[in-house]
Amino acid sequence: MTETETEREANTLRIGTRGSLLARTQTETIVERLRRHRPELKIHVEIIQTTGDLRQGVPFAQVGTKGMFVKEIETALLTRAIDVGVHSLKDMPGELPDGLELACVPEREDPRDALLSRDGAKLTDLPPGAVVGTSSIRRQAQLRHFRPDLRVVELRGNLDTRLAKLDAGQYDAIVLAVAGLNRLGLAARISEYINTEVCLPAVGQGALALETRTGDAATLAWLAQLHDDDTERIIAAERGFQARLHGGCTVPVGALATLSDNRQTITLRGIIAAPDGSALLRDEMSGPVQMGAAIGVDVAERLLARGGAAFLEAKGHSL
C-alpha cells in the first residue's frame, strides 16, 4: 500500500512491528494505551519480518548490519505502508533515516540484564567452565571480563527458544533483558538481576521507541499522550553516546543514564570493551539535564581517546 496522507482514512493508524511474541506483546500494550486515550482510533497492526528475524541462526557479528531489527519497518514507514513503527529502542542505530523521527518514548522498563540459570545459581556461584548463553556481544565481553573462567557462547532465537535451550541443558545459564521478561510475565524465571557495575545495559534497553514520518501531525498528536519526558532525557544522553560511536547491537559498548537532584542533573556511565573481555574501559560524567546528549558524546570521546577506538576497530567498526 502506498497511499498519500490525504488519502489515508480518517482516525486510522497502522502500526508496524516484528512478529516475535515479545514484539507483539509490546505493541499490544501500546495499542491498549492508545485506545484508552483515543477510543475513536481504528488501529491495524502489521507484522513485518526484519533481517534479524530472517537470520536467527546466524551470529549477530556475521549478520553485519546496523538496524537489523528495524530497517524493514523503517522502509514500510517511508513507503507509507504503516504510520508508526514500534521498536525496542536498544535495536535502533544512533542515527535515523531522513524523513523519519522518534516521535514518542513511553516510560522505560527496568534496563538491567538478568541471569537465568537451571538451578537458580547466581553469576558468582557458577562453576568454572559453566556455559552461559547470550546473543549480545556487549554482554559477552562484560561477562568474560568479570568471569574469564566461564564459557560465554552465542545464543540466538526468540525468547521461548532460548528458555527451551536452557531447560534442555544446552546451557548452564543464559542472560536476557529484565524488561522483556517482565513484559511477558516471566520475572519468576530470573535467578539474579545483574548489577550494572558488572554488566552495563545496551543504549535504550528497557525502553520502547515509536517512530513516525517527519511532519505527520495527526500521528504525532495521537502518540504525544504516551510520551514520558524523563525517559526522553535519559535516552537522549545514551543515544548521544551511541551516535558518536556509530554503534548498533554488534559492538561491545554499553551506557546507562540516571537522573538526580530533583531530575535536574543527569549522569551517564559508559563502557567500551575488548570483544574477548580482556580489557574494559569505563567512564562517567554528570551535568545539567538539558546537556544530556552532549554529555553522552563527551563520555564516548573520552573512552575512544583512552583506547576504546582500538577495541571497536578490532571488530571492523568504522569511527
Which residues are known catalytic residues? 91
Q: In what order do the strands lie in the sheet with 280-288?
A: 253-260, 265-273, 280-288
In terms of phi and psi (left: phi > 0; alpha: psi -120 to 50; beta: otherwise), the region of 118 is: alpha
* Distance separating alpha carbons of residues 190 and 168, to the nearest angstrom: 17
* Distance separating alpha carbons of residues 41 and 39, to the nearest angstrom: 5
With CA atoms as reference, report the closest residue to 259 among 227, 225, 295: 295
Q: All 3 cell numbers of residue 93?
A: 542505530
* Contact of 122 with 198, CB cutoff 8 Å: no
With CA atoms as reference, report the closest residue to 19 among 52, 66, 43, 62: 52
* Distance separating alpha carbons of residues 162 and 174, to the nearest angstrom: 8
Pairing of strands 42-47, 12-17: parallel
Instruction: From residue 15, give the alpha-carbon distance in Å to each of 81, 125, 142, 158, 222.
Output: 9, 44, 35, 21, 12
